[in-house]
Amino acid sequence: MQQKREHFGSRFAVIAAMVGSAVGLGNIWRFPYILGEYGGAAFILVYIAASLILALPIFYAESIIGRRSRSDTFGAMRKLAPGTPWRWAGLVTIVSPMLVLSYYSVVGGWSVEYLFKSLSFSFTDVPAEEIPGFFGHFISSPWQPILTHTAFMAAVVFIVLGGVSKGIEKFSKPAMPALFILIVAIAVYSLTLPGAWAGVTYLVKPDFSRLTADACAAALGQAFFSMSLGVGAILTYSSYVKREENLMVSGVGTAVCDLLFALIAAFAVIPSVFAAGLQPSGGPSLVFETLPYIFHRMGEGLPLVSTLVSAVFFITILAAALSSAISMLEVGVAFLSDERGFKRRNATLLLGFLCWAVGVLCSLSFGPLSGFHILGNSIFDFLDHLCSDWLMPLGGLIFTLFVGWKMSRADVRDEFTNGGTVNVKLFNAVYFLMRFVAPVGILVVFVTNLVM
C-alpha cells in the first residue's frame, strides 16, 4: 500500500527543511531562558559538547533509518526489523512530537499576539518600563492566548495539508536567511545598550560552581529539543531525501546552523535582559518581556522604527516556529497515512485538532488552571519537561540502539556512505559515537534525572 514517496527537490531544499525544523522557538525562546536558569557560560559549553557528541550522532541515526526505509517512524522499524517488537518503540516517537506540538503552538500563539501588539503600536504607546509587564497580563487571560494558539495551529495544519514540496519546502526556504540577518542585527544593537556588557560577561565567563548534574541533563534535553531529535521528525524528513544526497553534509549543516542561531539568540536576548534590569532566570517569559522593551528603546522617539523592527522580528520568529511545528505534525501525518491508510487531509485535520485540544489545557495552565499541578509542575511545564528531559532522549536512545545494535554494520555503512562513495573515512568515528557514546550518554542523563 506504499505509494510513491515525495522527495525534496534539491540539496538546498533538504538542508533548508531540516534547518527549518531545527531552528525555531527552541533557539530563540527556549535556549536563552534555559541557559539563564542554569547559569550562563558554563551551561553553553556543556550544551555545545552535548550537541556535537551526543545529538549529532543521533541525527545521523535518524537520517540513516529514515532514508533507508523511506517510511514513517513506525513503518521504518517494521521494514528494517520485520517481525520484531522494534516497531512499538517506533510508536513512542510518534506520540512525543504530538505532545511537543501541543505546547509549542501555545508559544507560537504568543508570537502571534506580539506581532499584533507591535502592529497596533501597543508597545510604543507606553513607557518602555511598562512593556515587560504586558506578558503576565496576556498569558493569564483565559481566552486571548487560546485564540492565538488556535490561529497558529490553523496555520500549521494549512501548510501540512499542502504536502512536502508544495507546503513544507516552499515555506522553509526564504524564512531562515531572513531570520538569521535579523537576529544578528538585534544582537549587535543589544550590545550597544548601557548595562549590556554584564550580560556579555554572563555569557562568556563560565562559573562552573553552578554546573550541577541537573544543568548537564537540561543541556542535553535542550540539544535534543533544538535539533528536533528523538521524535522522528528528522527520520521522517530523511525519508524524503534522495539516495544521492550526502547525509553527513545535511547533519553538519543543520547542527552548525542550529548552534549558531541559538548562540546569536543568546547574545541578542541576555545582554538585553541585563540592560532592561531584568533577571536572566526569568523563565519562559524572558524573550517576550525583553525584546519588545529593546525594540522600544531602539526607536526612542521614532515609534515607526520600533514598530517596524518589532513586527519584522515577530514575523520571522513566527516563520521559524511554523517551519518547526510542521515537522512535528508531519511525523504523525506520515504515520497515519502510510500505516493506517488515512487520507493525508484527514490525518492532518485529526491530529491538528487533538494537539490543539491539549494545547488549550497548556495555555490555561498560565491562567485559570494555574493551581493545577502534575508532579509539582503546571501542565505546560510538565509537558515541556516530560518531552525534553524524557521522551526526546528516550526516542534518541531507541534510534541509536537500533542503528548501532540492530541494523547490520554493512547496511549502516552503505546508507551513510551512499554505497561506499562518500564519507567513508569518517564512518568509523560516527559509528562508534552512535553505537557506544550516544547511548551511554543518554543513559547517564536518565539516571541523573531519576536521582535528582
Is residue 324 near ligand PFF by the rule CB under 6 A?
Answer: yes
Cβ 392 to ligand PFF, closest distance in Å? 7
Q: Residue 83 region, left (φ>0) first, then alpha (ψ -120 to 50), else beta?
A: left
**Distances in Å between the alpha carbon of 96 and those of 51, 197, 355, 384?**
20, 39, 11, 11
For position 27 contacting ligand PFF by CB under 6 A, the verdict is yes
Residues 6+ apart with CB under 8 A from 285: 33, 135, 136, 139
26 binds ligand PFF (CB under 6 A): yes
Three-class SS of residue 378? coil
Cell of 2: 506504499
Considering only residues 337 through 356, tell me which ones interact with ligand PFF, judged by CB under 6 A.
none
- Candidate list 13, 17, 25, 196; residue touching ligand PFF; CB under 6 A: 25
- Does 225 interact with ligand PFF (rule: CB under 6 A)? yes
> Smallest distance from the beta carbon of 420 to ligand PFF, in angstroms?
31
Q: Which amino acid is located at 260 in the chain?
A: L
Separation between Cα atoms, residue 153 and residue 149, nearest integer Å: 6
Residue sitting closest to ligand PFF (CB)? 26
Relative orientation angle of helices 213-226 and 392-401, to the nearest 10 degrees:
70
Q: Is 100 in the site for ligand PFF (CB under 6 A)?
A: yes
For ligand PFF, give the closer residue by CB, 221 or 439: 221
User: Pick from 183, 211, 273, 328: which binds ligand PFF (CB under 6 A)?
Assistant: 328
Kindly identify the residues of this chain, within the stretch 227-246, that bind ligand PFF according to CB under 6 A: 228, 231, 233
DSSP-derived letter for residue 123 is T
How many residues in the chain? Answer: 452
- Considering all CA atoms of the chain, what is the largest pairwise distance in Å, rounded to the nearest integer? 69
Q: Which is nearer to ligand PFF, 30 or 87 (CB)?
A: 30
Number of residues that bind ligand PFF (CB under 6 A): 16
The minimum distance between CB 282 and ligand PFF, in angstroms, equals 19
Q: Which is nearer to ligand PFF, 21 or 365 (CB)?
A: 21
Beta strands (DSSP E) in 342-450 are: none
Rule CB under 6 A: is residue 39 a binding residue for ligand PFF?
A: no
**x/- contact string, 176-195, with ligand PFF (CB under 6 A)?**
--------------------
Question: Would you state the cell numbers that stand for residue 68, as one nine-digit string?
Answer: 533507508
Q: How far is CA 101 from the centre of its chain?
A: 10
Report whether 191 contacts 386 (CB < 8 A).
no
All three cell numbers of 167, joined, read 507546503
Tell whether residue 222 is a contact of ligand PFF (CB under 6 A).
no
Q: Is 218 in the site for ligand PFF (CB under 6 A)?
A: no
Q: How far is the CB of 31 from ligand PFF (least distance, A)?
A: 8
Any contact of residue 393 with ligand PFF (CB under 6 A)? Answer: no
Nearer to ligand PFF, 276 or 391 (CB): 391
Residues in contact with 417: Cβ distance below 8 Å, sequence separation at least 6, in sequence order: 423, 424, 427
Does 395 contact ligand PFF by CB under 6 A? no
Under the rule (CB under 6 A), what is the footprint of ligand PFF? 21-22, 24-27, 97, 100, 225-226, 228, 231, 233, 324, 327-328
